[in-house]
Chains A and B, each alone.
Chain A
Amino acid sequence: MYRKPRGGGSQSILNLDSLMDILSCLVGVMLFLVIYTVLELGATSFQVAVPVPLDPPAGSRRVLVLANGGTVRVLDAARPIRDLSTGIDQVPVDAMPEFVRQVNLSAPTDAYFSYTLGYDAEMAAVAGRDRSFQIAVDEIPGEPGETLQELDSGSRYASLLGGLDPNDVWIEFGVDAFTLDAFRRARDLAEARGFATRWGPLSLDFPVSFSLDDDAQGPGPRRSLSQR
Chain B
Amino acid sequence: MANLSNDDEEGISLFPMFNILACTLGVMVFILATVATVSLGADKAIEIVEAPIELPDSSEMTVEDAARGAAERRRPVWIEWDGVQLTIYPSMETVGFDRDLRSFDSWDETYAYISERLTGTRLGASVAQVGLEPELRYVVLLVRPSGFDNLLEIGSYFEFLGIDVAHEPINQQWQRVRVN
A: which residues have CB within 8 A of B? 8, 10-11, 14, 16, 19, 22-23, 26-27, 29-30, 33-34, 36-37, 40-54, 175-177, 180-181, 183, 199-201, 222-226
Instruction: Please tell me if the beta carbons of A50 and B138 are within 8 angstroms of each other in the complex.
Output: no
Instruction: Please tell me if the beta carbons of A19 and B21 are within 8 angstroms of each other in the complex.
Output: yes
Instruction: Please tell me if the beta carbons of A19 and B28 are within 8 angstroms of each other in the complex.
Output: no
Shortest Cβ distance from B144 into A: residue: A177
A11 to B9, CA, bound (A): 8
Instruction: Please tell me if the beta carbons of A19 and B17 are within 8 angstroms of each other in the complex.
Output: yes
Instruction: Please tell me if the beta carbons of B46 and A50 are within 8 angstroms of each other in the complex.
Output: no
Shortest Cβ distance from A67 into B: residue: B169
A226 to B134, CA, bound (A): 15
A223 to B156, CA, bound (A): 9
Taking A44-B47, A48-B168, A224-B156 as contacts, is the C-beta distance between A53 and B8 under 8 angstroms?
no
Instruction: Please tell me if the beta carbons of B159 and A33 are within 8 angstroms of each other in the complex.
Output: no
Instruction: Please tell me if the beta carbons of B152 and A34 are within 8 angstroms of each other in the complex.
Output: no
Instruction: Please tell me if the beta carbons of B166 and A199 are within 8 angstroms of each other in the complex.
Output: no
Partner of A52, one of B44, B50, B107: B50
Chain A residues in 8 Å Cβ range of B9: 10, 14
B: which residues have CB within 8 A of A? 6, 8-9, 12, 14, 17, 20-21, 24-25, 27-28, 31-32, 34-35, 38-39, 41, 43-51, 53, 67-68, 71-72, 74, 76, 107, 138, 140, 143, 145, 148-149, 151-152, 155-156, 159-160, 164-172, 178
Instruction: Please tell me if the beta carbons of B152 and A222 are within 8 angstroms of each other in the complex.
Output: yes
Instruction: Please tell me if the beta carbons of A23 and B21 are within 8 angstroms of each other in the complex.
Output: yes
Partner of B44, one of A45, A176, A201, A226: A45
A51 to B160, CA, bound (A): 22
Instruction: Please tell me if the beta carbons of A180 and B47 are within 8 angstroms of each other in the complex.
Output: no
Smallest CB–CB gap between B136 and chain A, Å?
13
A40 to B14, CA, bound (A): 37
Instruction: Please tell me if the beta carbons of A34 and B31 are within 8 angstroms of each other in the complex.
Output: yes
A181 to B20, CA, bound (A): 47
Shortest Cβ distance from B78 into A: residue: A50
Shortest Cβ distance from B151 into A: residue: A201
Instruction: Please tell me if the beta carbons of B169 and A175 are within 8 angstroms of each other in the complex.
Output: yes
Smallest CB–CB gap between B83 and chain A, Å?
11
Shortest Cβ distance from A16 into B: residue: B17
Partner of B14, one of A19, A27, A46, A224: A19
Partner of A37, one of B35, B72, B107, B168: B35
30 residue pairs of the A-B complex, CB under 8 angstroms, read A8-B8, A11-B8, A14-B9, A19-B17, A26-B24, A26-B25, A30-B31, A33-B28, A37-B35, A37-B38, A40-B35, A44-B178, A45-B44, A47-B46, A47-B49, A48-B47, A49-B48, A50-B50, A51-B166, A52-B71, A52-B74, A52-B166, A53-B138, A175-B169, A199-B169, A201-B148, A201-B149, A223-B152, A224-B165, A226-B159
A223 to B167, CA, bound (A): 12
Shortest Cβ distance from A4 into B: residue: B7
